[in-house]
Every structure is written in structure tokens, then in C-alpha cells.
Amino acid sequence: MATQDSITGDPRLDALAASLAKRLGGMGCETLSGLGELTLVVPSEQWPQVARTLRDHKDLGFAQLIDVCGLDYAAYGKAEWETVEASSSGFGRGVDRGPELAADDPKRFSAVYHLLSIAHNHRLRVRVYAEVKASGELPMVDSVVEVWPAADWFEREAFDLFGILFRGHPDLRRILTDYGFVGHPFRKDFPISGHVEMRYDPELERVVYEPVQIEPRVLVPKVIRADSRYADSQRTDA
């Protein structure tokens, strides 16, 4: 049963939240609860020390790194289309989404780590917002490869797809796209059609890259309307 001080309604998660607050609260960390899960938000400058504490402290014991991913909050919480209240005739148009976060906004990009404590059978999500020290520079987070070696390829993936640099990573190269790929395809401002297209040139006998020829288009959601032909009350047996 949840107590008055419960933040999750689950005694085991409440105990973990209390341990996190006790061990990491002085480092500026914040514990969030939702959908039966805990998320630890860590200041970027404290991340290396917090990572070691999460792994090494006997009350925490997060020895296993499950996954690392990047996030782009440029359009977070803003629906691109309003389809619930679409017009009854014609197609609804796109809503005004308002200004998006700039690439150098310190809250636009984050690295998210999913951890497992085998000793205590706990799972934890850790969010670290990426530093952007100057306009035009890529967002940056300290690498935790030395803490969890499994972070090696995961951090490379977040770099490749989101452009997040991981300070101290031993081999930060693209891992999914081509080495000569321009941009980072999971960013919210990356065009759906991409920047270049690839084809095989029979004269040169090799693959060549050219500017993309696809015309950008606006995707319009389908509006489903009532049709009396399929209403049970309108059906008659032949």
C-alpha cells in the first residue's frame, strides 16, 4: 500500500527513489516518476561522478547498461497535425507549431541511459541534457565507456543519428550511416527526403551521390467520415 510519502505507489520504487535522493541529491540530480518507472535527471557536469556512484554504491548497484539513445526535444509536446477535431469537409490543415528550440539550446538534446541493477532487480532511466558551449557547436555529453564498456557502440549511434558528441569516447565514428553522410538523420530539423541521393553510375562504374531530386511535400492525414453504406441500421437482405 502506498504511504503518504510515496511518489510512485510502489514500495520498491519508493525505496529506490529514496536511495537516489540520499546519494545523489547533493549533486543537483532530480528524480521523476511516471507510469511505474523512475527517471533520474543529471546535470551534465556531474554525470561522470553520478555514473560511478550508480554503478559502485552497494545500495544502487547499477552494474549493467542496457541502452543509450539520443533525444531531440525541438518539437516536444507539439502535435504536427490536429486530427481529432478535423473538419467534416475537405482536409484539416497543419496547426501552428510555434518556434522550435534552436540547435544551441541547452535543453534541446539529451542522452538517455537505461540501467539495470542485477543485485536489487531495479531498472532506472537516466537523462543527461547535452552541453552546448557556443553557438554552432555540436551538443556534448561525457562518455561513460570507462564506467560501462557497453556504452561504446550505443554512444556512437547517438552521435551518428543526433550529432551528440561524447567527450572522452575512444572511437567516436559513424556507425549506421556512411562516413561521408551529411547531417544527422534523427534530428527534428532533418528533411524527410534527406540532402543527397545515391545511384550507381554505369559509366564511372561506381556509386555516386547527387543532390536529392524528391520534391518536399506536406503529408495530410486522412479524414475518416461516417458512411451509411456500412451502418448496420441501413443494411437490408437482398
CA distance 123 to 10: 13
Q: Residue 163 maps to which CATH number? A: 3.30.460.80
pLDDT digits (tens, 9 = 90+) for 178-201: 877 778 888 888 777 777 777 888
For residue 203, give the C-alpha cell: 559509366
CA–CA dist 214, 217 (Å, integer): 9
Task: Tell me whether strands 30-34 and 165-167 are parallel, antiparallel or unpaired.
Answer: unpaired
Number of domains comprising the chain: 1
- Count of CB atoms situated within 10 Å of the CB of 44: 18
Q: Per the domain annotation, does 238 fall within a domain?
A: no
Pairing, β 122-129 against β 37-42:
parallel
> Using only C-alpha atoms, what is the Rg of the chain?
24
Cβ atoms within 10 Å, residue 68? 25
Long-range contacts of 194-201 (CB under 8 A, 24+ apart): none
The answer to the question of residue 4 being in a domain is no
- Is 170 a residue whose pLDDT tops 50? yes
226 domain-assigned: no
What is the structure's pLDDT at 166? 96
Domain membership of residue 110 (yes or no) is yes
The beta-strand segments (E) located in the chain are 30-34, 37-42, 64-72, 109-117, 122-129, 140-142, 165-167, 196-201, 206-211
Residue 167: Cβ within 10 Å count: 13
Average pLDDT over residues 135-158: 93
Residue that wins the pLDDT comparison between 21 and 83: 21
pLDDT band at 4 (very low <50, low <70, confident <90, very high): very low
In the structure grid, which three cell numbers stand for residue 10, read together? 510502489
Q: What value does the mean pLDDT of the chain take? A: 81
**CA–CA dist 27, 5 (Å, integer):** 22
pLDDT at 34 over 80: yes
38-97 pLDDT, tens digit per residue, is 999 999 999 999 999 999 999 999 999 999 999 998 877 665 555 555 454 444 444 444
Give per-residue pLDDT as tens, 128-137: 999 887 777 8
**pLDDT over threshold 90, residue 235:** no
Query: Measuring CA to CA, which residue among 220, 227, 24 is closest to residue 126?
Result: 24
pLDDT one-digit tens code per residue, 225-234: 666 666 665 5
Q: Binning pLDDT at 50, 70 and 90, where does residue 207 land?
A: confident
Is residue 58 in some structural domain? Answer: yes
Is position 126 within any domain? yes
Structural domain harbouring 108: 11-181
Residue 231 lies in a domain: no
Residue 99 lies in a domain: yes
Residue 93 confidence (pLDDT): 45
